[in-house]
Amino acid sequence: MPRPIQATIHGEALRHNLSRMRAAAPDARVWGVVKANAYGHGIERVFDGLRGADGFALLDLQEAERVRALGWRGPILLLEGVFEPRDLELCSRLNLWHTVHCDEQIDMLAMHKTNQPHRVFLKMNSGMNRLGFAPHRFRSAWTRLDALPQVDEISLMTHFSDADSAKGIAEQVRVFDEITRDLPGERTLSNSAASLRFGAEPGVRADWIRPGIAVYGSAPDYPDHDIAHWDLQPTMTLATRIIGVQELAPGDTVGYGSSFTADAPLRIGVVACGYADGYPRHCSTGTPVLVDGVRTRMVGRVSMDMITVDLTPVPEAGFGAEVTMWGRAANGAVLAIDEVARAGGTVGYELMCGLALRVPAVVE
Ligand SMILES: *Cc1c(COP(=O)(O)O)cnc(C)c1O
């Protein structure tokens, strides 16, 4: 028998979360963001749950090919555009829409031979200072693109740096509006956080939203709000079992570095999940975990293949008991990935993207 660890991808939860994002930004079309192999869920595994999206947004050209191979004929957007001239051939062949964020990408387009003009999304750097044309250069980039026979419709795009926090998006929206006010074309501004927090506001409404993390059941502004607040459901469960039990006496320690010491008699379960499965090594004593759907805590350090958990709240649990590292337990109890991420000093994004290849996954 293989190790008892398994990831489950919840199709119904993907559908639910997608509809939540639609409700958050009325009238907008929705890009299902499936970059990074659908945030670690697996493109092929989420496809059925997300086929109600209006398009798929990603950045790896091979992932775009995989989405087309699944039979998707609708829009696909390359969020970083092309990286070299021959990528444009694939865009022509597979009808991929692509972001244009720098002069070099316009140069490549100008040299590209195609009789099928491309739909492009011109990206403004409105303050994030990652990809995009600075505001004062945006209109000349638009004019240059507009003159190219290789270009069909030009849409307008920007990305927010602080949609999940107090600073918010107002200043970036103001800059984007000021420069693009009289330009034609569809607009796309908001990621998950901006869609949930501001998606219905008139100044933020746009033709398309680009939610990723919320679709995958993680609250973008955790811990200010959790998934229950936003009515989102976990889309990935990482579940395993107890493979050993130890009875500790006061003064006994657990695991590498003896980082945990029992101050009273304590029954602990040894769990088949470690950092080689994608569980964060920075989690330590106190990190929440569910045993038989009951909340308890990790004790000691995460090792490569195992962690250890306090069995005090579940005295009946022993060898073979169900352990939920994050997601939904058999009894319906939920442990949000955000809580585990926070205990490990990171965010839900990193945990789901880091699910290890050795963990078998099923869709349910
Ligand atoms: C990843 C990404 C998104 C989705 O962001 P979430 O925070 O996961 O909703 C949206 N737009 C762009 C350009 C991205 O790279």
Q: Provide the pLDDT for residue 81.
A: 98
Q: Are strands 55-58 and 29-33 parallel, antiparallel or unpaired?
A: parallel
Q: Select from 191, 197, 208 the residue to mutate for testing ligand 1; criterion: most ligand atoms less than 8 Å from CB.
A: 191
- Give the Å distance between the CA of 233 and the centre of ligand 1: 19
Query: Is the C-beta atom of 192 inside 6 A of ligand 1?
Result: yes
- Give the Å distance between the CA of 191 and the centre of ligand 1: 5
Q: Could you tell me the fold of the domain covering 236-363? A: Lyase, Ornithine Decarboxylase; Chain A, domain 1 (2.40.37)
Give 170's pLDDT tier (boundaries 50, 70, 90).
very high
Q: Provide the pLDDT for residue 269.
A: 98
Alpha-carbon distance 290 to 334, whole Å? 8
Query: Is the C-beta atom of 210 inside 6 A of ligand 1?
Result: yes
Known catalytic residues? 35, 256
Mean pLDDT over 12-28 rounds to 97
Query: Is the C-beta atom of 36 inside 6 A of ligand 1?
Result: no
Please determine, for residue 2, whether its predicted confidence score (pLDDT) is greater than 90: no
HEC per residue, 91-111: HHHHCCEEEECCHHHHHHHHH
Q: What is the per-residue pLDDT across 59-95, written as a single tens digit (0 to 9) for each?
A: 999 999 999 999 999 999 999 999 999 999 999 999 9
Query: Is the C-beta atom of 99 inside 6 A of ligand 1?
Result: no
Which regions of the chain carry the CATH code 2.40.37.10? 236-363
Alpha-carbon distance 265 to 326, whole Å? 27
Mean per-residue pLDDT over the chain, rounded:
97
Query: Is the C-beta atom of 32 inside 6 A of ligand 1?
Result: no
Q: Provide the pLDDT for residue 109.
A: 98
Q: Provide the pLDDT for residue 70.
A: 98
Which regions of the chain carry the CATH code 3.20.20.10? 11-216
Please determine, for residue 231, whether its predicted confidence score (pLDDT) is greater than 90: yes
Q: Provide the pLDDT for residue 342.
A: 98
Q: Which atom of ligand 1 lies closest to the CA of 79?
A: 13
- Tokens (6 digits) for 109: 């387009």
Please determine, for residue 46, whether its predicted confidence score (pLDDT) is greater than 90: yes
Helices within the chain (DSSP H only): 11-24, 35-39, 43-50, 61-69, 87-94, 103-111, 135-146, 170-180, 192-198, 227-230, 337-343, 348-353
Q: Considering the chain, what percentage of its residues have pLDDT values greater than 90?
A: 99
Q: Provide the pLDDT for residue 168.
A: 97
- Give the Å distance between the CA of 252 and the centre of ligand 1: 46
Q: Provide the pLDDT for residue 249.
A: 98
Homologous superfamily of 11-216 in CATH?
Answer: Alanine racemase (3.20.20.10)
Please determine, for residue 1, whether its predicted confidence score (pLDDT) is greater than 90: no
